[in-house]
Amino acid sequence: MTVIINSNADKKKATGVVSKRDKNPRNALASKRKPEHNQRPEMNPDGNCIHYSLAVVFLAFGFACIHIYHVSTMFENDRHFSHLSALEREMTFRTEMGLYYFYYKTIVEAPTLADGVSYIMNNNVTEYPSVINTLKRFNLYPELFLGIMYRIYDWACNSLGLENKICWQVERGGGLPPVLSCEGLGDPAYFYLTGVWLMAGITVATLFVFGVQLSGSIGGGLLAVTCYFYNHGECTRVQWAPPLRESFCYPLLLIQMLQVTNCLRKKAEPSLKHIAAILISSNLCLITWQFAQFVLATQAVILFCLYLVGIVNHHSILVYTVGMAVGIQHSIALLCGNDLLASSFLVCLLAPILVFSVIIERSQAYLWPAKKPLPSTSEGTEPTTASSLSEEKIENSKQTRIPFVWFVVRLVVCLPLAFISAVSLKTKLAQLMGTEDDAHIFDLLRSKFTSFKSFHTLLYTCSPEFDFLGLETIEKICWTLLLPAALISLVAVAVRGLYLTFKEGDSDVKRLKISDIWEPDIMYNIGQLCVFTAMAVLVMRLKLFFTPHLCVIASLLASRKYWSVIRNVEVHWALMAVLLSGMSAQGIKNIIEQRSIIGEYSNVPLEELIEWVRTETSPQASFAGPMPVMANLLLSTGRPVVNHPHYEDAGLRERTKKVYSIFSRKTIPVVYKTLLQMKVDYVVLEETWCYGARMKGCSMTDLWDVEDPDSKDRPAVCPLLFQNLNDPFPFRRVFINDKYVVLQISKSPPKNMDLKASRYVELVSPPLKEYGQ
């Protein structure tokens, strides 16, 4: 078997094939311009139709507006956000959301913008007493951009005398004091959330354009967006957790994948336009989310595999590699030399891809040089013009028959070598830089396939979002017909490709290049879906990549190219309408169920804790405790914290492990010594962290039993400190309510301690509860 590919001299995509019967070059060129399989010209996005382009733009904008309204109202319905006080709004941002919002708040409230940037780049309250560059560590460019925009907006409104918010007093009842609540873009929280909702709108707009580009019809875009809305709960959680990095980065990742798809579809040549498109989109992804590098690494592997089997040409892989490399370089600079990115697998993968692609092209050119036969004239043919003669020479020179076994050798030999080279480079680079920031990712993967357990991996796997993908998700996307639709699309692509590959007796088909049969843009997105599927199966949280890409692939059901067997176009669209009707049966129920969620946020114990910290402790007092609580204390009180929820730094992971010794079975003197060395003034205990466990084997004592098996026979420290009124030296309880206990760490004997009285301290013992350990 032989495969026809483009040689290095290929400068233009061949849009058709020359039949042996077409001896006349004019007829051959005319046949290449014939539209494929009854495809309507007005439905072809490559056509120069202004009406088509305007329709795509206006529909994308309309879907973006609908999604903005959808997610913003769901968020309001769930929390009654408009009637919360500033403190309560901050309290809704739990875990790492509160951490990110703190830096936005810092920029907004700083005396000047320069001061705000200086505060986040020289920060000593996030990992007290260390001073760290949080812009380098936490991918804070979304907060920096929104903070700058808010300051400009607020300055403009003040200069013009415009009201930009409305405030009122809200009576909360239940013995709680009234609060002042403000609504409008002049409120920092509302401005921040508006930025998140705009990014959510961009997600749907990009998804629509993606569906249009991939299917070649507006119907494909409509199908992709419909699937997204019908499976909204499985596609995103922006409506419940707005400040997460994925809320800002995923729209940019969609745009980046769309740019790569367009470059493959157009057979991109090494040009500034295509390189810049990949450079800018990749750069924006990398500076907004630390996990983006892993997604882009899978993209690089997929494209390299497609190149090795001859589907992606050398020019396209060169465009991608150069654009990605320069984008990474700019990202590292903007992130001030972020170690996690600088030592990433993505960085180490690009060099082997570039080197092996050059070696392959050189070897191939040597073994199978491009044929350049001169055209000949024969009897019975019409005279050819100079232009047609030139085009025929180019067409002949571009096609070279390469044995299929060559592509098998390329894949079997070069892929393992490239992978081994990348792993070796990564290992050496990490050793040279002295960083292990991404070690927890590989440990997490290891724990998924083996019995390996560690304290850090258990902190991840004991969270439901890091568990394996549940059958519930599969059932939901089956009931909306999303999964069946995507599978049918994959079958259609496979059937068409196999039919054209093995069809005999047709000279036109035999002259097709492999990239004409297995189209690079389609195959890339199928490969990306396969990777996203594996990621989602291993880590349920990553279904935010899997489900939307199912929507993208499902759009191929609207492609005439893959459904040319349905000769009548009207019949095709009628079947599409039937499919949408079937999807709507469950899809509309899902939308109604989402929009019926009504709630109101209230967390009185946490509010009491924050108010006590504000009024009863020094602004320089440092705190340690559960990561989610520390994020809230940092955000709402500004007190220095020793640990926080951003777990991607190796040093922070070890720091958190030391703090969490308070939940272990170690002796109290050992725990005290550890906290004292970390310069902790107060440690916060939460009842659920001392006693509770969501799953069997996932309590904090269970985690420590894995990490410190020699201490299994000792009692746990946290329950003793949480419910014991007799202060065990060197700890002293200074605050207690229904959910939290605050212990002050003694720096001297108890008689010399100067403790402030608090109205929240109870002088009687709380009722003891029976807890299993």
* Closest by CA position to 641, among listed 244, 107, 98: 98
Residues 561, 216 contacting (CB under 8 angstroms): yes
Local structure of 731: helix, strand or coil: strand
Name the band, by pLDDT with cuts 50, 70 and 90, for residue 294.
very high
Q: Who contacts 533 (Cβ-Cβ below 8 Å, separation ≥6)?
A: 546
Each residue of 62-115: pLDDT tens digit?
Answer: 999 999 999 999 999 999 999 999 999 999 999 999 999 999 999 999 999 999
Among the ranges given (404-408, 545-549, 566-570, 584-588), the one the predictor scored with the smallest mean pLDDT = 404-408
Cα within 13 Å of Cα(609), Cβ side: 27
- Mean pLDDT confidence for 421-440: 91
Spell out the domain ranges in the chain: 38-52+196-373+391-437+470-593, 80-186, 604-752
- For residue 169, what are its two tokens? 């007093």
pLDDT at 171: 81
- Residue 452: pLDDT above 60? yes
**Average predicted confidence (pLDDT) for the chain:** 86
Please give the class, per CATH, of domain 604-752. alpha beta
Residues 755, 741 contacting (CB under 8 angstroms): no
Each residue of 524-538: pLDDT tens digit?
Answer: 999 999 999 999 999
Name the band, by pLDDT with cuts 50, 70 and 90, for residue 501.
confident
Name the band, by pLDDT with cuts 50, 70 and 90, for residue 764.
very low
d(CA 28, CA 17): 8
- Residue 371: pLDDT above 70? no
- Residue 169: pLDDT above 90? no
Q: Compute φ and ψ for 666, nearest 5 degrees.
A: -65, 165
Local structure of 173: helix, strand or coil: coil
Judged by phi (left if over 0) then psi (alpha if -120 to 50, else beta), residue 448 lies in: alpha
Return the bridge partners of 401, or none: 4
Name the band, by pLDDT with cuts 50, 70 and 90, for residue 438.
confident
Each residue of 402-416: pLDDT tens digit?
Answer: 777 888 889 999 999
Strands (E), 192-288: none
* Closest by CA position to 626, among listed 96, 89, 243: 96
Local structure of 265: helix, strand or coil: helix
Residue of 586 and 397 predicted with greater confidence:
586
Return the bridge partners of 689, or none: none
Please give the distance of CA 223 from its chain centroid, rounded to a whole number. Answer: 23
d(CA 524, CA 252): 18
Please give the distance of CA 214 from its chain centroid, rounded to a whole number. Answer: 21
**What pTM did the predictor assign?**
0.87
Each residue of 643-667: pLDDT tens digit?
Answer: 999 988 889 999 999 999 999 999 9
- Residue 384: pLDDT above 50? no
